[in-house]
Amino acid sequence: MITDPSAFLRRLFDRAVEVADPMRSLALHLPPRPAGRVVVVGAGKASARMAEAVEAEWGPCEGLVITRYGYARPCRGIEIVEAAHPVPDAAGQAATTRMLDLLAGLGAGDFVLALISGGASALLVAPSHEVTLAEKQVVNAGLLASGAPIDRMNTVRKHLSRVKGGQLAAAAYPAQMLALMISDVPGDDPAFIGSGPTVGDASTPAEARAILDRWQIAVPAAVQAALEAGSGVVPPGDPRLGRVVNRIYAAPAQSLAAAAELARAAGCEVRHLGDALEGEAREVAAAQATEAAAVKAALRPGDAPVLLLSGGELTVTRRGDGIGGPNAEFALALAIALEGATGIHAIACDTDGVDGAAEVAGALIGPQTLERARALALDPASALARNDAHSFFAGVAGQVVTGPTLTNVNDFRAILITG
Protein backbone atom coordinates (compact mmCIF):
# COMPACT_ATOMS: atom_id res chain seq x y z
CA MET A 1 0.00 0.00 0.00
CA ILE A 2 1.30 3.47 -0.94
CA THR A 3 0.86 5.67 2.14
CA ASP A 4 2.89 8.68 0.96
CA PRO A 5 2.36 9.28 -2.80
CA SER A 6 4.92 12.10 -3.06
CA ALA A 7 7.64 10.08 -1.35
CA PHE A 8 6.79 7.10 -3.55
CA LEU A 9 7.07 9.16 -6.75
CA ARG A 10 10.39 10.56 -5.58
CA ARG A 11 11.66 7.00 -5.04
CA LEU A 12 10.70 6.15 -8.62
CA PHE A 13 12.63 9.14 -9.93
CA ASP A 14 15.65 8.32 -7.79
CA ARG A 15 15.61 4.77 -9.13
CA ALA A 16 15.52 6.04 -12.72
CA VAL A 17 18.58 8.17 -12.04
CA GLU A 18 20.39 5.42 -10.16
CA VAL A 19 20.35 2.88 -13.00
CA ALA A 20 21.81 5.47 -15.39
CA ASP A 21 24.80 6.25 -13.15
CA PRO A 22 27.94 5.60 -15.25
CA MET A 23 29.68 4.02 -12.25
CA ARG A 24 27.03 1.31 -12.31
CA SER A 25 26.71 0.77 -16.05
CA LEU A 26 29.62 1.95 -18.18
CA ALA A 27 32.15 -0.77 -17.35
CA LEU A 28 30.01 -3.44 -19.04
CA HIS A 29 30.54 -1.66 -22.36
CA LEU A 30 34.28 -1.02 -22.12
CA PRO A 31 36.65 -3.29 -24.04
CA PRO A 32 39.94 -4.31 -22.46
CA ARG A 33 42.33 -1.38 -22.44
CA PRO A 34 44.00 -1.25 -25.86
CA ALA A 35 47.76 -1.51 -26.18
CA GLY A 36 49.56 1.64 -27.26
CA ARG A 37 48.49 5.23 -26.81
CA VAL A 38 44.97 5.75 -25.44
CA VAL A 39 43.38 9.20 -25.36
CA VAL A 40 40.05 9.88 -23.62
CA VAL A 41 37.98 12.88 -24.64
CA GLY A 42 34.40 13.83 -23.92
CA ALA A 43 31.79 16.39 -23.06
CA GLY A 44 28.43 16.55 -21.33
CA LYS A 45 26.81 16.68 -17.92
CA ALA A 46 27.62 13.00 -17.33
CA SER A 47 31.06 13.01 -18.98
CA ALA A 48 33.16 13.52 -15.84
CA ARG A 49 31.38 10.65 -14.10
CA MET A 50 31.92 8.57 -17.25
CA ALA A 51 35.63 9.41 -17.14
CA GLU A 52 35.73 8.40 -13.48
CA ALA A 53 34.14 5.07 -14.40
CA VAL A 54 36.67 4.53 -17.19
CA GLU A 55 39.63 5.06 -14.89
CA ALA A 56 38.08 2.73 -12.32
CA GLU A 57 38.48 -0.01 -14.97
CA TRP A 58 41.50 1.08 -17.02
CA GLY A 59 43.52 3.04 -14.49
CA PRO A 60 44.87 6.54 -15.14
CA CYS A 61 44.42 7.72 -18.74
CA GLU A 62 45.56 10.61 -20.86
CA GLY A 63 42.70 12.85 -21.85
CA LEU A 64 40.44 15.88 -21.48
CA VAL A 65 36.73 15.98 -20.66
CA ILE A 66 34.47 19.04 -20.41
CA THR A 67 31.52 19.06 -18.03
CA ARG A 68 29.11 21.56 -16.48
CA TYR A 69 30.16 23.74 -13.55
CA GLY A 70 29.71 21.73 -10.37
CA TYR A 71 29.79 18.35 -12.15
CA ALA A 72 33.54 17.56 -11.96
CA ARG A 73 34.73 14.24 -10.59
CA PRO A 74 38.15 13.17 -9.29
CA CYS A 75 40.23 11.51 -12.01
CA ARG A 76 43.83 10.40 -11.79
CA GLY A 77 44.91 11.09 -15.36
CA ILE A 78 42.05 12.56 -17.37
CA GLU A 79 41.81 16.32 -16.99
CA ILE A 80 38.31 17.52 -16.10
CA VAL A 81 37.39 21.05 -17.18
CA GLU A 82 34.19 22.77 -16.05
CA ALA A 83 32.34 25.18 -18.33
CA ALA A 84 28.95 26.81 -18.78
CA HIS A 85 25.69 25.15 -19.76
CA PRO A 86 23.21 25.74 -21.43
CA VAL A 87 24.80 28.89 -22.91
CA PRO A 88 28.51 28.32 -23.71
CA ASP A 89 31.36 30.38 -22.26
CA ALA A 90 35.05 31.10 -22.79
CA ALA A 91 36.11 28.20 -20.55
CA GLY A 92 34.31 25.75 -22.84
CA GLN A 93 35.81 27.35 -25.93
CA ALA A 94 39.37 27.21 -24.58
CA ALA A 95 38.96 23.59 -23.48
CA THR A 96 37.53 22.58 -26.85
CA THR A 97 40.53 24.12 -28.62
CA ARG A 98 42.84 22.14 -26.36
CA MET A 99 40.85 18.96 -27.06
CA LEU A 100 41.24 19.39 -30.80
CA ASP A 101 44.98 20.00 -30.31
CA LEU A 102 45.20 16.79 -28.27
CA LEU A 103 43.66 14.79 -31.13
CA ALA A 104 45.79 16.36 -33.85
CA GLY A 105 48.57 14.12 -35.12
CA LEU A 106 47.24 10.81 -33.76
CA GLY A 107 48.19 7.79 -35.82
CA ALA A 108 46.46 4.64 -37.01
CA GLY A 109 47.82 2.71 -34.03
CA ASP A 110 46.30 5.06 -31.46
CA PHE A 111 42.93 4.65 -29.74
CA VAL A 112 40.46 7.37 -28.75
CA LEU A 113 37.62 6.80 -26.31
CA ALA A 114 34.98 9.53 -26.64
CA LEU A 115 32.48 9.99 -23.79
CA ILE A 116 29.41 11.91 -24.93
CA SER A 117 26.28 12.83 -22.99
CA GLY A 118 23.60 15.47 -23.05
CA GLY A 119 24.98 18.97 -22.56
CA ALA A 120 27.88 18.46 -24.97
CA SER A 121 26.25 20.83 -27.46
CA ALA A 122 26.94 23.78 -25.17
CA LEU A 123 30.17 22.48 -23.63
CA LEU A 124 31.97 21.74 -26.92
CA VAL A 125 32.49 25.25 -28.27
CA ALA A 126 34.40 25.93 -31.50
CA PRO A 127 32.51 28.48 -33.63
CA SER A 128 33.02 28.16 -37.38
CA HIS A 129 34.00 30.84 -39.89
CA GLU A 130 34.08 34.34 -38.36
CA VAL A 131 31.42 33.68 -35.73
CA THR A 132 32.51 34.88 -32.29
CA LEU A 133 31.72 33.30 -28.94
CA ALA A 134 29.40 36.20 -28.11
CA GLU A 135 27.49 35.63 -31.35
CA LYS A 136 27.29 31.92 -30.67
CA GLN A 137 25.87 32.74 -27.23
CA VAL A 138 23.15 34.86 -28.85
CA VAL A 139 22.18 31.93 -31.10
CA ASN A 140 22.08 29.46 -28.20
CA ALA A 141 19.96 31.75 -26.07
CA GLY A 142 17.56 32.30 -28.97
CA LEU A 143 17.24 28.58 -29.64
CA LEU A 144 16.58 27.80 -25.98
CA ALA A 145 13.79 30.40 -25.78
CA SER A 146 12.17 29.44 -29.08
CA GLY A 147 10.43 26.20 -28.16
CA ALA A 148 12.13 24.39 -31.05
CA PRO A 149 12.65 20.61 -30.57
CA ILE A 150 16.13 19.51 -29.58
CA ASP A 151 16.94 17.93 -32.94
CA ARG A 152 16.18 21.24 -34.72
CA MET A 153 18.31 23.17 -32.25
CA ASN A 154 21.19 20.78 -32.71
CA THR A 155 20.98 21.00 -36.50
CA VAL A 156 21.63 24.73 -36.26
CA ARG A 157 24.42 24.23 -33.75
CA LYS A 158 26.20 21.72 -36.01
CA HIS A 159 26.43 24.15 -38.89
CA LEU A 160 28.03 26.83 -36.74
CA SER A 161 30.70 24.57 -35.27
CA ARG A 162 34.11 23.09 -36.03
CA VAL A 163 33.58 20.13 -33.70
CA LYS A 164 29.94 18.96 -34.00
CA GLY A 165 28.36 16.83 -36.72
CA GLY A 166 31.18 14.28 -36.92
CA GLN A 167 33.99 16.82 -36.82
CA LEU A 168 35.45 15.62 -33.51
CA ALA A 169 35.84 12.13 -34.98
CA ALA A 170 37.36 13.56 -38.15
CA ALA A 171 39.90 15.44 -36.04
CA ALA A 172 41.07 12.14 -34.51
CA TYR A 173 41.45 10.29 -37.83
CA PRO A 174 43.24 7.95 -38.57
CA ALA A 175 43.12 6.80 -34.94
CA GLN A 176 40.54 4.21 -33.99
CA MET A 177 37.65 5.65 -31.95
CA LEU A 178 34.97 4.19 -29.71
CA ALA A 179 32.28 6.67 -28.68
CA LEU A 180 30.19 5.68 -25.67
CA MET A 181 27.04 7.75 -25.27
CA ILE A 182 24.27 8.37 -22.78
CA SER A 183 21.16 9.38 -24.69
CA ASP A 184 19.13 12.41 -23.69
CA VAL A 185 17.26 12.85 -26.99
CA PRO A 186 13.85 11.48 -28.02
CA GLY A 187 14.36 8.48 -30.27
CA ASP A 188 17.98 7.94 -29.16
CA ASP A 189 19.48 9.10 -32.47
CA PRO A 190 23.25 9.33 -31.85
CA ALA A 191 23.48 12.13 -34.42
CA PHE A 192 21.66 14.43 -32.00
CA ILE A 193 23.23 13.43 -28.68
CA GLY A 194 25.46 16.41 -27.92
CA SER A 195 24.99 17.47 -31.58
CA GLY A 196 26.72 14.30 -32.78
CA PRO A 197 30.44 15.19 -32.56
CA THR A 198 31.40 11.64 -33.59
CA VAL A 199 28.50 10.95 -35.99
CA GLY A 200 28.20 11.88 -39.66
CA ASP A 201 25.53 14.40 -40.60
CA ALA A 202 23.56 14.74 -43.83
CA SER A 203 21.79 18.03 -43.06
CA THR A 204 22.61 21.24 -44.92
CA PRO A 205 23.18 24.88 -43.99
CA ALA A 206 19.96 25.65 -45.85
CA GLU A 207 18.07 23.43 -43.41
CA ALA A 208 19.67 25.29 -40.50
CA ARG A 209 18.60 28.64 -42.00
CA ALA A 210 15.05 27.30 -42.44
CA ILE A 211 14.92 26.32 -38.76
CA LEU A 212 15.93 29.83 -37.72
CA ASP A 213 13.20 31.23 -39.96
CA ARG A 214 10.56 28.72 -38.80
CA TRP A 215 11.06 29.59 -35.12
CA GLN A 216 11.70 33.28 -35.79
CA ILE A 217 15.13 33.29 -34.18
CA ALA A 218 17.02 36.49 -34.90
CA VAL A 219 20.78 35.95 -35.31
CA PRO A 220 23.79 38.22 -35.91
CA ALA A 221 24.90 38.96 -39.47
CA ALA A 222 28.07 36.87 -39.01
CA VAL A 223 25.91 33.82 -38.26
CA GLN A 224 23.87 34.31 -41.42
CA ALA A 225 27.09 34.69 -43.39
CA ALA A 226 28.52 31.51 -41.89
CA LEU A 227 25.41 29.53 -42.87
CA GLU A 228 25.54 30.94 -46.39
CA ALA A 229 29.24 30.08 -46.69
CA GLY A 230 28.64 26.40 -45.97
CA SER A 231 29.52 24.03 -43.19
CA GLY A 232 32.23 21.59 -42.23
CA VAL A 233 29.93 18.85 -40.95
CA VAL A 234 31.15 15.42 -41.98
CA PRO A 235 28.70 13.51 -44.19
CA PRO A 236 27.88 9.86 -43.46
CA GLY A 237 30.21 7.61 -45.39
CA ASP A 238 33.16 9.98 -45.17
CA PRO A 239 36.38 7.90 -44.93
CA ARG A 240 37.36 9.79 -41.77
CA LEU A 241 34.43 8.12 -40.00
CA GLY A 242 35.43 4.64 -41.11
CA ARG A 243 37.32 3.85 -37.90
CA VAL A 244 34.61 5.10 -35.51
CA VAL A 245 32.18 2.95 -33.54
CA ASN A 246 29.28 4.83 -31.89
CA ARG A 247 27.47 3.03 -29.09
CA ILE A 248 24.59 4.22 -26.90
CA TYR A 249 24.93 2.31 -23.65
CA ALA A 250 22.34 4.12 -21.49
CA ALA A 251 18.99 5.53 -22.60
CA PRO A 252 15.69 6.77 -21.15
CA ALA A 253 13.89 3.47 -21.80
CA GLN A 254 16.15 1.64 -19.34
CA SER A 255 15.50 4.14 -16.58
CA LEU A 256 11.76 4.14 -17.14
CA ALA A 257 11.78 0.33 -17.08
CA ALA A 258 13.57 0.33 -13.72
CA ALA A 259 11.02 2.76 -12.27
CA ALA A 260 8.18 0.66 -13.67
CA GLU A 261 9.59 -2.46 -12.03
CA LEU A 262 9.68 -0.69 -8.68
CA ALA A 263 6.12 0.56 -9.14
CA ARG A 264 4.80 -2.90 -10.00
CA ALA A 265 6.48 -4.29 -6.91
CA ALA A 266 4.45 -1.75 -4.92
CA GLY A 267 1.23 -3.01 -6.50
CA CYS A 268 0.75 -0.46 -9.28
CA GLU A 269 -0.57 -1.05 -12.76
CA VAL A 270 1.93 0.74 -15.02
CA ARG A 271 0.91 2.31 -18.29
CA HIS A 272 3.71 3.56 -20.52
CA LEU A 273 2.97 6.70 -22.49
CA GLY A 274 6.31 6.58 -24.30
CA ASP A 275 9.97 7.37 -23.70
CA ALA A 276 10.33 9.88 -26.55
CA LEU A 277 7.58 12.45 -26.02
CA GLU A 278 8.14 15.92 -27.45
CA GLY A 279 6.09 19.10 -27.63
CA GLU A 280 5.17 22.16 -25.57
CA ALA A 281 5.25 21.25 -21.88
CA ARG A 282 1.91 22.88 -21.09
CA GLU A 283 0.18 21.17 -24.03
CA VAL A 284 1.49 17.73 -23.13
CA ALA A 285 0.43 18.38 -19.54
CA ALA A 286 -3.12 19.19 -20.64
CA ALA A 287 -3.33 15.96 -22.63
CA GLN A 288 -1.97 13.86 -19.77
CA ALA A 289 -4.34 15.54 -17.31
CA THR A 290 -7.26 14.46 -19.49
CA GLU A 291 -5.91 10.91 -19.57
CA ALA A 292 -5.34 10.86 -15.80
CA ALA A 293 -8.86 12.12 -15.14
CA ALA A 294 -10.30 9.38 -17.36
CA VAL A 295 -8.28 6.74 -15.49
CA LYS A 296 -9.48 8.14 -12.17
CA ALA A 297 -13.11 8.05 -13.29
CA ALA A 298 -12.78 4.37 -14.27
CA LEU A 299 -11.18 3.22 -11.00
CA ARG A 300 -13.35 1.21 -8.63
CA PRO A 301 -12.82 0.52 -4.91
CA GLY A 302 -10.09 -2.08 -4.50
CA ASP A 303 -8.52 -1.44 -7.92
CA ALA A 304 -4.75 -1.22 -8.06
CA PRO A 305 -3.23 2.27 -8.31
CA VAL A 306 -2.37 3.26 -11.90
CA LEU A 307 0.94 4.88 -12.83
CA LEU A 308 1.24 6.82 -16.08
CA LEU A 309 4.94 6.86 -16.95
CA SER A 310 6.65 8.87 -19.70
CA GLY A 311 9.97 10.31 -20.84
CA GLY A 312 11.30 12.38 -23.70
CA GLU A 313 12.17 16.06 -23.91
CA LEU A 314 9.50 18.71 -23.75
CA THR A 315 10.06 22.33 -24.71
CA VAL A 316 9.00 25.75 -23.51
CA THR A 317 8.37 28.75 -25.72
CA ARG A 318 9.51 31.64 -23.60
CA ARG A 319 6.71 34.17 -23.22
CA GLY A 320 7.56 35.81 -19.90
CA ASP A 321 10.47 36.75 -17.69
CA GLY A 322 10.07 34.10 -14.99
CA ILE A 323 12.33 31.28 -13.86
CA GLY A 324 11.19 27.97 -15.28
CA GLY A 325 11.98 24.80 -17.16
CA PRO A 326 9.98 22.24 -19.12
CA ASN A 327 9.49 19.84 -16.21
CA ALA A 328 8.33 22.46 -13.73
CA GLU A 329 6.14 24.02 -16.41
CA PHE A 330 4.62 20.61 -17.16
CA ALA A 331 3.91 20.07 -13.47
CA LEU A 332 2.33 23.52 -13.06
CA ALA A 333 0.17 23.14 -16.17
CA LEU A 334 -0.84 19.65 -15.00
CA ALA A 335 -1.87 20.96 -11.59
CA ILE A 336 -3.96 23.71 -13.19
CA ALA A 337 -5.65 21.26 -15.57
CA LEU A 338 -6.43 18.77 -12.77
CA GLU A 339 -7.94 21.52 -10.57
CA GLY A 340 -7.19 19.69 -7.31
CA ALA A 341 -8.62 16.33 -8.39
CA THR A 342 -8.41 13.88 -5.50
CA GLY A 343 -6.19 10.83 -5.71
CA ILE A 344 -3.85 12.19 -8.41
CA HIS A 345 -0.21 13.00 -7.66
CA ALA A 346 2.64 13.58 -10.11
CA ILE A 347 6.35 14.23 -10.49
CA ALA A 348 8.21 15.74 -13.43
CA CYS A 349 12.00 16.04 -13.29
CA ASP A 350 15.06 16.18 -15.50
CA THR A 351 17.35 13.26 -14.70
CA ASP A 352 20.44 15.51 -14.84
CA GLY A 353 19.13 17.50 -11.88
CA VAL A 354 18.77 20.73 -13.88
CA ASP A 355 15.42 21.76 -15.33
CA GLY A 356 16.02 24.62 -17.74
CA ALA A 357 18.72 26.89 -16.36
CA ALA A 358 17.78 26.46 -12.69
CA GLU A 359 19.54 24.24 -10.18
CA VAL A 360 16.26 22.40 -9.63
CA ALA A 361 15.37 19.00 -11.09
CA GLY A 362 11.62 19.60 -11.31
CA ALA A 363 8.50 19.47 -9.16
CA LEU A 364 5.91 17.38 -7.35
CA ILE A 365 2.18 18.11 -7.35
CA GLY A 366 -0.85 16.70 -5.56
CA PRO A 367 -4.50 17.50 -4.82
CA GLN A 368 -3.48 20.24 -2.35
CA THR A 369 -1.03 22.10 -4.62
CA LEU A 370 -3.42 24.78 -5.89
CA GLU A 371 -5.12 25.17 -2.50
CA ARG A 372 -1.74 25.71 -0.84
CA ALA A 373 -0.78 28.26 -3.49
CA ARG A 374 -3.93 30.30 -3.06
CA ALA A 375 -3.50 30.31 0.71
CA LEU A 376 -0.10 31.92 0.06
CA ALA A 377 -1.58 34.40 -2.47
CA LEU A 378 0.25 32.70 -5.35
CA ASP A 379 -1.54 32.74 -8.70
CA PRO A 380 -0.77 29.54 -10.69
CA ALA A 381 -2.19 30.88 -13.95
CA SER A 382 -0.09 34.02 -13.72
CA ALA A 383 3.03 31.96 -12.94
CA LEU A 384 2.39 29.80 -16.01
CA ALA A 385 1.87 32.84 -18.22
CA ARG A 386 5.23 34.26 -17.06
CA ASN A 387 7.10 30.95 -17.43
CA ASP A 388 7.73 31.23 -13.69
CA ALA A 389 7.10 27.64 -12.61
CA HIS A 390 10.25 27.31 -10.49
CA SER A 391 9.31 30.35 -8.42
CA PHE A 392 5.78 28.98 -8.00
CA PHE A 393 6.99 25.61 -6.71
CA ALA A 394 9.54 27.24 -4.44
CA GLY A 395 6.61 29.06 -2.86
CA VAL A 396 4.50 25.94 -2.31
CA ALA A 397 7.45 23.72 -1.26
CA GLY A 398 6.99 21.52 -4.32
CA GLN A 399 10.47 21.68 -5.80
CA VAL A 400 12.63 18.58 -6.31
CA VAL A 401 16.28 19.50 -5.73
CA THR A 402 18.87 16.77 -6.23
CA GLY A 403 22.14 18.58 -6.94
CA PRO A 404 24.28 17.16 -9.74
CA THR A 405 23.09 13.63 -10.56
CA LEU A 406 26.13 13.01 -12.84
CA THR A 407 23.97 11.41 -15.51
CA ASN A 408 21.43 12.55 -18.10
CA VAL A 409 18.73 10.36 -19.66
CA ASN A 410 16.21 13.10 -20.25
CA ASP A 411 12.90 13.91 -18.59
CA PHE A 412 11.08 11.63 -16.14
CA ARG A 413 7.34 12.03 -15.61
CA ALA A 414 5.06 9.87 -13.48
CA ILE A 415 1.40 10.40 -12.59
CA LEU A 416 0.04 8.23 -9.77
CA ILE A 417 -3.74 7.70 -9.70
CA THR A 418 -5.38 6.05 -6.72
CA GLY A 419 -9.01 5.18 -5.98
Would you state the pLDDT for residue 376? 97
Mean pLDDT of 377-405: 97
Q: Which of 204, 229, 250 is the last residue of a domain?
A: 250
Supply the DSSP string of 197-240, one letter for each residue: TTS-----HHHHHHHHHHTT----HHHHHHHHH---PPPTT-GG
What is the value of pTM for the model shown?
Answer: 0.94
Q: How many CB atoms lie within 10 A of CB 96?
A: 27
Interior/surface letters 376-411, b for 16+ CB within 10 angstroms, e for the rest = eebebeebbebbbbbbbbbbbebbbebebbbbbbbb
Mean pLDDT of 206-227: 94
d(CA 417, CA 342): 9
Would you state the pLDDT for residue 232? 83
Domain membership of residue 84 (yes or no) is yes
pLDDT, tens digit, 9 for 90 and up, residues 124-181:
999 998 999 999 999 999 999 999 999 999 999 999 999 999 999 999 999 999 999 9
Based on the fold, state whether residues 58 and 127 are members of the same structural domain.
yes
Based on the fold, state whether residues 264 and 280 are members of the same structural domain.
yes
Going by their DSSP bridges, the two strands 79-83 and 411-417 should be labelled as unpaired
Q: How many CB atoms lie within 10 A of CB 372?
A: 14
Range of the domain at 302: 5-16+253-417
Mean pLDDT of 248-270: 97
Altogether, the residues listed in the chain come to a count of 419
H/E element, 180: strand 176-182
* 1 pLDDT higher than 90: no
Domain membership of residue 49 (yes or no) is yes
* 394 pLDDT higher than 80: yes
Chain-wide mean pLDDT for the chain? Answer: 96
Based on the fold, state whether residues 189 and 57 are members of the same structural domain.
yes
Mean pLDDT of 63-92: 97
pLDDT, tens digit, 9 for 90 and up, residues 358-384:
899 999 999 999 999 999 999 999 999
Domain membership of residue 22 (yes or no) is no
Maximal C-alpha separation, the chain: 70
Would you state the pLDDT for residue 129? 87
Contact 143, 218 (CB under 8 A): no
Based on the fold, state whether residues 273 and 372 are members of the same structural domain.
yes
User: Among residues of the chain, what percentage have pLDDT more than 70?
Assistant: 100
